[in-house]
Amino acid sequence: MKNEIIERFTSYVKVDTQSNEENPSCPSTPGQLTLANALVKELQSIGMKEVTMDQNGYVMATLPANSNKDVPTIGFLAHVDTATDFTGKDVKPQIVDNYDGKDLTLHEKLDVILSPDDFPSLKNYIGHTLITTDGTTLLGADNKAGIAEIMTAMDYLIQHPEIKHGKIRVAFTPDEEIGRGPHKFDVDAFDAQFAYTVDGGPLGELEYESFNAASAKILIKGTNIHPGTAKGKMVNSAKIAMEFHNELPAAEAPEYTEGYEGFYHLLSFHGDVEETKLSYIIRDFDRQKFNERKEYITKVIEDLKEKYGQNRIQLELHDQYFNMKEKIEPVKEIVDIAHEAMEKLDIKPQISPIRGGTDGSQLSYMGLPTPNIFTGGENFHGKYEFISVDNMILATKVIVGIASLFEEKAI
């Protein structure tokens, strides 16, 4: 299993699949289709059935049941795209056997060093086989590790028919990193009762709570006049933008929050005297507090309109997804089964809220309850990203274990 996972993962990450928020097409980049087509061929080659890819790049496949019990159909999902935060072109994965707990030089000329002094969790991986970047790109373990683990788990189940399971569906989807993963996902065609995204981080992560999420885009129009004759006439849009931002609670930003704390996050600020654009995301686990955050931003904007003029400021406020806990708690047994599958492998489940996005948030509200399980990676979206092959193997075994437990508990 180790060699299979390494071979699969390192081949996937070499395909540039960064998504692109500026492109409305689905998928938003051609590399995602390149990988999706390769995955279709691989699924067929290992013996999966009903392998399909639609015009939007969503890949689906079936592992037929080998049990006579009435087992719920379950699914496993991972996304093919990588983050927009850091380049994913020309990824050159490096394999470190039997990691010794010391500094790892990722790129000597650029002096890029992965050090336990900066990332203390590296000490958890002494003796593991690690895969790192070469210090010039992200790695793409988010979420190509999930793809490799699902693919390896399905291959393993096909090769070991003595492991009984119900019908299993798998899907590999585009554009998760730009929030569009489920937008064109056909839940009816997928035809599963429950699913799991294999898109988490370190060993044992098991998540079924996510933020309520919204985006806010603000456009401010100013009036630019020569500064020598500007008195009473100039309206500086950048200063209005600063005034707006200063009305937000300073401590309620990502860099000051953790756990169940929500925030306002300024993503971008572009402007001058004549025109300024701001982009925010709004996050909170509690639905009432989430609504209050949106109401507060709206009120601040209305107050500024009263002060500077109704036509000077525009606000676009859109919900993105909601806390999937509301949809998963009524079927909490799917979380319990994942919990049990981990414990059977002597993995201590780490149940925590997702302080980020997951396709499961939207899918759960589309009628497919979908918690999230770990992949084994850390430091996603940057040059210090790495993953433990040992923990990728355990993630694969958890997938197999979940499938087996659903069959075991069925009548």
pLDDT digits (tens, 9 = 90+) for 65-93: 999 999 999 999 999 999 998 999 999 99
Model pLDDT, residue 85: 85
Q: In this prediction, what percent of the chain has a pLDDT beyond 70?
A: 100
- Average pLDDT of the chain is 96
The residues facing 278 across adjacent strands are: 218, 269
Query: What's the pLDDT tens digit per position in 300-315?
Result: 999 999 999 999 999 9
Q: Which of 149, 155, 176, 385 is catalytic?
A: 176
Query: What's the pLDDT tens digit per position in 226-280?
Result: 999 999 999 999 999 999 999 999 999 999 999 999 999 999 999 999 999 999 9
| Active-site residue flag, 81 | yes
- Contact (Cβ atoms closer than 8 angstroms) between residue 81 and residue 199: no
* pLDDT at 324 exceeding the cut of 90: yes
* pLDDT at 380 exceeding the cut of 90: yes
* pLDDT at 356 exceeding the cut of 80: no
Model pLDDT, residue 290: 98
pLDDT band at 185 (very low <50, low <70, confident <90, very high): very high
pLDDT band at 179 (very low <50, low <70, confident <90, very high): confident
Task: In whole angstroms, give the CA distance from residue 388 to residue 411.
Answer: 37
Q: Which of 81, 205, 207, 385 is catalytic?
A: 81
φ, ψ at 260 (rounded to 5°): -95, 10
Structure tokens at 350: 């780490």
Task: In whole angstroms, give the CA distance from residue 209 to residue 107.
Answer: 37
Model pLDDT, residue 355: 86
Unique residue bearing structure tokens 């979420």: 143
| Active-site residue flag, 100 | no
- Contact (Cβ atoms closer than 8 angstroms) between residue 154 and residue 170: yes
pTM of the model: 0.88
Task: In whole angstroms, give the CA distance from residue 154 to residue 61.
Answer: 10
pLDDT band at 411 (very low <50, low <70, confident <90, very high): confident
**Of residues 357, 372, 342, 378, the one with CA closest to residue 142:** 378
**Of residues 398, 386, 374, the one with CA closest to residue 9:** 386
Model pLDDT, residue 159: 98
Model pLDDT, residue 271: 97
